Amino acid sequence: MKKLINYKPNRTSNILLGLLPFAVLIMVYMVSSDARLAMNPDDKLLPAFSQMGESMYRMAFEPSKRSGELLFWQDTASSLTRLALGVLIAAIVGLFVGVLTGALPIFSAGFSPLLTVVSLVPPLALLPILFIVVGLGEVSKITLIAIGITPFIARDIQRRTQEIPAEQLVKAQTLGASTSQILVRVVLPQIMPKLIDAVRLSLGAGWLFLIAAEAIASTDGLGYRIFLVRRYLSMDVILPYVAWITLLAFLVDYLLSKLNRRLFPWSVEAQS
């Protein structure tokens, strides 16, 4: 008998072991749901999967009586647009600030203390200010996401830039490179895969700010919907929405990691 620490599952049992907790969770849910519905058919707390399916079908394929829109897709499109714009702005600003402060000591001296302080401000505490300054529209939500994750991306990129071996920067200079040439040809290309990694790490926070902003002031969006139907205890909508948000988050992360491998084949191995 091997020691437990040396026991490695093979491929099949690896997958089965991975699926097991999901199966257990679903089973537990189904049993509890059945038990509650047997006692009270109008119970709203643990709806059956069939009820969730009906509700989602209504949300996704039947036009809303009030606005005539397919609410589920409308919510998804609005939320993803906000998230994408917010993250895009954060990535661009973070890249510029990070590369400049990471590569040029004079920028670092000027901006690093500010960046540290800004990154300590809780973004949600700024939300009222945003509502006052830019109103309740789309801009406030996008700005919240951008403000929330820019400092993280900027600091991460700054650190990654500083990790580029000094030898490379000296070498480029001995080949005749100017500061701008070093930034554009040596630093920036090596930072791009790190930027995608930083975006992947910051998406969790991005979703948090998105849903918070939508919950407080919005007329559509995934976060808006789950906070809206909470008033009617509509767990049959909330639970599928949460699962859908999780799936979207997973897909975005997965696609970004694929993109990274496709665009920068040298970066995976070059790290070692």
Would you tell me which residues interact with another protein (CB under 8 A)?
165, 167-168, 170-178, 180-181, 184-186, 189-190, 264-267, 269-270, 272
Nearest approach in angstroms of CB 263 to another protein is 11
* CB nearer to another protein: pick between 74 and 267: 267
Q: Which is nearer to another protein, 92 or 164 (CB)?
A: 164
Query: Whose Cβ is closer to another protein: residue 42's or residue 269's?
Result: 269
Shortest reach from residue 162's CB to another protein, in Å: 14
**Residue whose pair of structure tokens reads 């991306």 in the numeric block:** 153
Q: Give the C-alpha separation, 155 to 209, whole Å.
A: 19
CA distance 35 to 46: 10
Instruction: Give min distance, CB of 180 to another protein, in A.
Output: 5
As a dihedral over the C-alpha atoms of residue 105, residue 107, residue 110, residue 116, rounded to 10 degrees, the angle is -90
Determine the Cα–Cα distance for residues 103 and 94; give it in Å rounded to an integer. Answer: 14
Q: Which is nearer to another protein, 76 or 190 (CB)?
A: 190
Q: Which two tokens stand for residue 116?
A: 């540290």
**Contact assessment for residue 142 and residue 130, using Cβ atoms and an 8 Å cutoff:** no
Query: If 0-12 CB within 10 Å is exposed, 13-18 middle and 19+ buried, where does residue 132 land?
Result: exposed
- Least distance from another protein to the Cβ atom of residue 164, Å: 9
- Structure letter (DSSP) for residue 34: H
233: phi > 0 → left, psi -120 to 50 → alpha, else beta; which? Answer: left
Q: In this complex, which beta carbon is closest to another protein, that of residue 61 or of residue 266? A: 266
Q: How far is the CB of 160 from another protein (least distance, A)?
A: 13
